A and B are shown apart, each in its own frame.
Chain A
Amino acid sequence: MIKRNLGYFILILLACVFSSCFQIIEEINVAANGSGTVNLTVNLSASKTKVASIMLLDSVNGYKVPSKQKIQKEMDEVVAYLKNSPGISNVKKTVDLENYIASVSFAFRNISNINNVNQNVLKKMKIKAVNNSSYSFSPETNTFQRSYAHTKEALTEYNKLKPEVKNVFKEASYTSIYRFEKPVSSCSNPLAKVSKTKKAVMLNTGMMGLINGKTNISNKIVLSK
């Protein structure tokens, strides 16, 4: 997944000694016909003083610190790949190196387009990951589904990290927001909140829960007809 991909990316970027945190925000707007837009944001602003000092170094705790140019270049590669992916259009990225916030947004014809894209982006970034998450939307049944299964690999990889790096994840958070054109009639994940308009569902959780498998972000959202 892109989010995990970016998670690893941040990990490499952030090897702070002090407590530091980052935010991953995933917003998906789904239209009635199943098309929609995605906006993925990684926000390291809360740790910007540490990131800034790390950026001055060549490597930290054994991890190579990428230069600003390298970050830009890798983001460009992701954008280029997305532009060539079937069903994906209107790809945009913003990289704010003042506050260390990066985001990618794009439109999809069908939500299943995202599933294929993610795995390949990861491959491109030479990151080992198991595709354990997928999205589906059925306009007929008005059902949006986010399937997620925790993989032990995440925890194994996490356990391999040095304690200083592990700390980075302790305060990190993950937020997903799904917006629809029709009101939500049911939502299966008890951690998720439905907005006042009933047209949006938000789930906010800590990264640690996702790594150790204690948090499940699967969700089945049924829209009213």
Chain B
Amino acid sequence: MNYFFKSAVTGAFLLGTLTVNAQDLSRKIPADAMAVMTIKGNNFLELMSAEEFNNTFIGKEMFSKLAKEQNNNYNSVEDFGFNLSSSFYYYNQTNDSVSYNCFLAPVKNLAQLDKVFEQSGKKFSVNGKLRTFFNADSSKIMRWNDEMLLMVLADGRSAYFDRPEIRERFGMSVIEVPQEAVAVDSAATVDATDVAAAGDQVMDASEVMVDEPKARSRSKKKSSHAAKSRKTKLKGKKSAKKSYKKKPVKVQPAEEAYMDAASAAAEAAAAAVDSAAIVVDTAYSYYEDKNSPYYKDKTIKTAVVARWTVKMIDDAFTGNGQNSILKNADFTKNIDQKAEATIWVAGVEKLGNAFIPSTTYLKDFNVLSGYGTANAKLYLEEKSIRISSAMTFSEEMGSVLRKVHQRKLNKAFLKYVNEDKLIGYMAYSMDTKAYLQEYPKLVSKIYGSLYSDEIGMATDLFSLVLDEEAISKVIKGDGIFIFNGLSQKEVSYKSYDYNEENFETTEVMKTKKETLPDFLAMISTEDTRLINKLIAYGVKKEVVKSKNSYYEVTIPKSPLALYFAIKEGIIFLGTNATEMEQIVSNTYQAKVSGRHKSALLGNNYAAYFSPKRLAGKIPAEELGSPAKIEKANKTLNSLGDIYIRSYPMNGNTFAGEISMDTPADQKNSLKYLFSVIENLK
């Protein structure tokens, strides 16, 4: 079922029919959703029709897997009954007691969707146009009608269900802080109580549930493995997570259960029964024991959560959308109709606080302090595939970032960039002085509440010891790293030869090729006094060799040659002597197109990589077999140029973008993406 649903949603996400319709379900998403992912079916469909998708390797694979697993014969993603031309959503709604992961899909053909469930043996209840499906333990509930399908995976939060007053309210057993290690152990083991087995109870509680005999028997079988594996997983974190001893019911100690099982196994040995299996089974039946307080607690929790979920789903289906996410201006502002997919996060700090465990160790740290809403959008455009992202900060953080990012890249760098030679570059510009002044403030904000005195002193000391102004003159804060390719150098090493007579060993010198990077780096400086002193010291110690107007750094035993020079407020560091000579003699031939120029000078961060130019330049020794070389070069050749850039701060919002050019011979970005994935297989 899981696979079916995933496939259906994936397929649906990728496609749609040609009509844009008004069946937008975003009004069904609650206003307090923490994160929302939107997939615009129609946008995908404009790039690839359902029929075209069915014939892609992903489509074919999906159908053949479904055919094999469920004996169903689907020929098209349209057979699932979803409205592929509308938007699909995932959202998360979390409060102090429960976290819901919800998938919302537009339905086009109710009968088709019903058939999908029927064919996979999933029984559901029917109430007019409404259909409801519960999995065995009610942790997954799906409801659909002729308009939409909502699947909710709910998880009761242990921080809430461990609170004494809550346990009392729901009639759960009392928990105590453990006195000894043994108690911890038994609690942890019990935590593995099979959740699936709790299904029965929940059904009584929620009443609407429909029995699902086939799935239940299967899930039961699986669950004995699940219980076993969860047990092992829990061992590591038990002490941190659940250090409780549960009372008051008399419990058969876990060890005893295992002992019984072991002796039972010993008796059965003659019958050639796998003793290990017996141990597990017996242990499982112990967890299944309905008199065990763990089982009861789990059942209560599952039932409570299931009731909440049903209520939440009821609201979604009957609600009038008055309190929907559409009331959130930041959400609506960030839904771009042109984007194929969008992820929107209501508040990174809020999300972090909801999911970072609230242990005593972490509660005073606020790493995400000052992080506001965030979003990421995927665009599959004619000429490029682009992901843009943005994060809004608090005024305090925003002002820090604005100050730090006020510097622009040194224009003079461009005199030493030749885009015909390079394979990629990375450039960054920030204000060293602002950074050194503002950074301590950020640190005290993160750790402030816990170690306010210590941090206060440390940050003061930091400012006292460092002369921000002076440092910022030596290293201004902008730099560029240009990657020109790879080169090979021969190095010798000692090895042994053996004579055939008596395998006597003789030491021999052999040679091999080392692959080295070829690069040029530049950083801006104003005050070169310190650097000059360092050079003089290096020359004296014979680590640095003067080559008239530039220097060579000698690294012992290293085949990598490094040259550097200081000129016009730029420190150059590179691997190519000729290039360095051209730089100091003003004969370097620069070439920078408008696109690179604006990327480099207009942003605080810019990076570029041309996979095509790297193709064929990776030494065969680094890749191995000819087949691997061919595949690597083929992949590199099929990829377009990649650009990464940040935008200038806009208010308190910091935004960036990564894009890859779509090769000219490709019909569109989506089809191109499919072809790249297929080639990678």
Using CB atoms and an 8 Å cutoff, list the residues of chain A in contact with chain B: 18-19, 23, 25, 27, 41, 43, 45-49, 52-53, 99, 101, 177, 179, 195-197, 199-202
Contacts and interface: CB of A to CB of B under 8 A. Distances in A.
Interface string B544-575: 00000000000111111000000000000000
10 contacts: A18-B515, A25-B496, A48-B491, A49-B491, A52-B556, A52-B558, A99-B493, A101-B494, A179-B503, A195-B503
B327 interface: no
Given A177-B498, A195-B501, 18 more contacts: A23-B496, A25-B496, A27-B505, A41-B496, A45-B493, A46-B510, A48-B491, A48-B493, A49-B514, A49-B559, A52-B558, A53-B555, A196-B501, A197-B501, A197-B502, A199-B502, A200-B502, A202-B503
B500 interface: yes
A45 B501 contact: no
B503 A177 contact: yes
Contact of A43 (B496, B501, B555, B559): B496
Contacts of A49: 491, 514, 557-560
B506 to A, nearest CB: 12
A23 B500 CA distance: 19
A46 B496 contact: no
A46 B510 CA distance: 9
A43 B495 contact: yes
A195 B557 contact: no
A177 B494 contact: no
Chain A interface helix/strand/loop/mixed: mixed
B512 interface: yes
B207 interface: no
Given A25-B505, A46-B512, A195-B502, A53 B494 contact: no
Contacts of A23: 495-496
Contacts of B493: 45-48, 99
A25 B491 CA distance: 22
A196 B557 CA distance: 39
A134 to B, nearest CB: 22
Contacts of B496: 23, 25, 41, 43
Contacts, number: 60
B420 interface: no
Nearest to A47: B493
Contacts of A27: 505
Contacts of B515: 18
Interface of B: 491, 493-496, 498, 500-503, 505, 510, 512, 514-515, 555-560, 621-622
A53 B558 contact: yes
A202 B494 contact: no
A45 B494 contact: yes
Contacts of A195: 500-503
User: Closest 5 A-B residue pairs measured CB to CB?
Assistant: A52-B557, A45-B493, A45-B494, A200-B503, A46-B493
B498 to A, nearest CB: 6
A47 B495 CA distance: 11
A43 B510 CA distance: 13
Given A46-B512, A101-B494, A195-B500, A19 B622 contact: yes
A45 B496 CA distance: 11
A197 to B, nearest CB: 5
B494 A43 contact: yes
B638 to A, nearest CB: 25
Contacts of B556: 52
A192 to B, nearest CB: 11
A201 B498 CA distance: 11
A179 B622 contact: no
Contacts of B559: 49
Given A177-B505, A195-B500, A196-B501, A99 B558 contact: no
A196 B503 CA distance: 9
A19 B514 CA distance: 9
Nearest to A98: B557
A23 to B, nearest CB: 7
Contacts of B510: 46
Contacts of A48: 491, 493, 557
Given A46-B512, A53-B555, A179 B502 contact: yes
With most chain B CB atoms within 10 A of its CB, the pick from A45, A52, A179 is: A45
A150 B621 CA distance: 31
Contacts of B560: 49
A103 B514 CA distance: 26
A45 B501 CA distance: 26
B503 A46 contact: no
A84 B166 CA distance: 68
Contacts of B558: 49, 52-53
Nearest to B622: A19
Contacts of B622: 18-19
Contacts of A179: 502-503
Nearest to A20: B514
Nearest to A179: B502
Contact of B498 (A43, A45, A199, A202): A202
